[in-house]
Structure 1
């Protein structure tokens, strides 16, 4: 019996059967996968697309709303939503309409337009930071704000929390070692430098460890998600963020909040929902309705300090920005998405659906008497293989059961439900229907019946 309360033999037997079912029902994807290997390493254009634990990738035909159709003509209720990139549904109509309207008017010019002013004002209202800059990805946005933090503080080191996710930023691809020191995150290729020389790692929700790390006065910025999202969903304990903000101010350290995943918490993310007061905010993934775009906000104090350090070298290369950042078409799409898609009404529907899903998941956990729980953050729900919500990345990762997780994902997929390949994250969009939730829960009910023997 695994810690998750499921016999490993049942998991293995079901996995064998479900893999064969997947092979039998996806001949077109199998053919495309073979053809793709001629020119795409691993048969995919970006290697994460092979992380689903399938014998060959599922090839897509189309996506709209909260529905997908694969190359074999099979339909799915989508609870992955591009791992947050399409959190408000695929091809939102206001975004599609803006793309059609602006298709003949130029895409990038390195000149500002009125859309930039409207977008920055919208973000300022949502997050409470007055100044904004734009990037192509949240990874880029985080890289740029780290440069600014080092420039305005004169300090070199940054601090992140164990289990963090901030995209493909070298300084953040770290874990907390058993000796309390920074260690390279397993799996990364060709690290650029020794992370211990640049990054301090502290356990999430460890105020004593945080205070000790900041006491040296050499940390430029703390970069954190409001809640951990890439080691499973780990919510902060009451008082943690207040302590974090007070401690950073006391030691002259800046605070950056990365809302790339936690924008599920509301129109202004956790920053607005929880009354946070950071010096920077990062937002990416769903900002342009599924197209590449990101933004990073600055406080008035940081903006003044940045202007001061840039003035003597105004003509130098800052290392901030890329040529296609803040293109005219991109900002037009972002404006349409913010004003017409990422609305209070959309969030209200997402939260209502998330509440229904959480209730349904908890009902099944109780029915099968499993030592599991559900952790939620707004429109984001996660099924966790432990009785209580984890309080740290270590607790969350210790509860993981990769074989069971992959089986459940495949069992769902074979019956028309797609979930993210990372953890058991289920994301709700305003485009989901109650029938989609019923299908997800009915399939999980069937899987648990087989796994526990209750269906025998």
Structure 2
């Protein structure tokens, strides 16, 4: 696999000097095209730590973040009048397009009827039925972010099993759940580097194995002390790692054999289809989490459980002392969330929408692969439904360690910036591209052509 050990070695098959020169040219073009954003953002926005409302807005590979004027469908327009086809889509939060009409209508309707009440309304009653019907698990709760939902679901898992250890896959991403912020380094579990303000050894109650490594999984579960395995069905938010044939069946068999619950986090892999990767591939989780796009862009998440887990939870609650459970936030399960979720589930996350997304994502995958082959670059493309990633390494990846080694920050940043200057926005933290129901064929072709032009320039 192409790596990087010093400044003279090619990064992803491209000489470092060529990457640096390309990025410098693209940065200057970016600045010239955005005088108003430069004036407002080059020195940071007043009143915000690090000059941005959320610190990771500084992680975009542009010289400074541009200021958005409007976001509609699959298009962003900045305050300088530049329009970009948006394939980032809020890193999945707007996977179904910006402000889908049914969701916007539901928000307007609910705004006249109250935004938060701590009591259910008609939409809430309907959403419970829709979630069970859509995702297969019978019983649900609502939170505000996938991080919250994962945290609460893990708390339930620990409560009903009487075990305090969880298992994650190296390189995983489950939001900012503390105990998942671990990794393997030289085969040894450590806290993830760069973790701010963490004073605990998170590996004390978290076991880590590599994705797709069934023997390591079996060995880790053998002690019978793991409450829950938390897993994305496809590893994302890094260089994408697909499950090898038989992996999910082995994961489910092993967890059941050792009395360990299985939590499937579909926050990114909902790109697979209307019921996520779980429904498309017949997975059978005990716990299920979905955040980001479930309310069409309104902050919301859901977490569901099987009948067996719910019965065990009820037994646990009957025996425990009353008062705080450590789960739930005041603004979760508010009427605005339910209005937006109902509209999304009924009118936006449709079979027809996913057919459109799948078709165009396959077209994008084909276009990217053709460009890579045409220019002889040691890269490949991975896709799960409407989610596509190019990876600056030659072979499909097997696990988190390989994904980390394949990450090429300097090269990826240059490509991202080049795509912005050619009217296409992709996710800033990795090479993720999403196709939405609002995305058009011409926009996919524009991205493929821009990628081809950049690949040609980098590979000369």
After superposition, the C-alpha distances for 1:270-304 in whole angstroms (9 at most, x for unaligned) are 11011000100000000111110000000000000
CA 1:349–1:109: 2 relative to 1, 3 Å: same
Q: Which moved more, 1:120-129 or 1:205-214?
A: 120-129
Q: Which moved more, 1:17-26 or 1:334-343?
A: 17-26
Distance in 2, matches of 1:38 and 1:329, equals: 30
Q: 2:457 is matched with which residue?
A: 450
Q: Does 1:249 align with 2:232?
A: no
Distance in 2, matches of 1:452 and 1:417, equals: 20
Per-residue deviation, 1:50 = 1.1
SS in 2 for 1:191: coil
Alignment of 1:103-118 (within 5 A): 103-118=111-126
Per-residue deviation, 1:45 = 0.3
Name the count of aligned residue pairs: 452
Segments of structure 2 that go 5 or more residues without pairing to the other structure are: 1-8
Distance in 1, matches of 2:321 and 2:286, equals: 23
Per-residue deviation, 1:114 = 2.5
Q: Does 1:277 align with 2:284?
A: yes
Q: 1:197 is matched with which residue?
A: 204
SS in 2 for 1:87: coil
Does structure 2 retain, via aligned residues, the 8 Å contact 1:181–1:196?
no
Q: Does 1:31 align with 2:39?
A: yes
Distance in 2, matches of 1:48 and 1:405, equals: 17
Q: 1:148 is matched with which residue?
A: 156
Q: Does 1:315 align with 2:322?
A: yes
Distance in 2, matches of 1:395 and 1:317, equals: 42
Distance in 1, matches of 2:199 and 2:340, equals: 35
Q: TM-score, normalised by structure 2?
A: 0.96
Q: 1:176 is matched with which residue?
A: 184
Alignment of 1:26-175 (within 5 A): 26-34=34-42, 36-175=44-183
CA 1:192–1:334: 2 relative to 1, 3 Å: farther
Q: Does 1:338 align with 2:345?
A: yes
Q: 2:221 is matched with which residue?
A: 214
Does structure 1 retain, via aligned residues, the 8 Å contact 2:377–2:459?
no
Does structure 2 retain, via aligned residues, the 8 Å contact 1:181–1:200?
no
Q: 2:6 is matched with which residue?
A: none
Q: 2:405 is matched with which residue?
A: 398
Distance in 2, matches of 1:70 and 1:276, equals: 42
Per-residue deviation, 1:155 = 0.4
Distance in 1, matches of 2:137 and 2:188, equals: 33
Does structure 2 retain, via aligned residues, the 8 Å contact 1:281–1:297?
yes
Per-residue deviation, 1:372 = 1.3
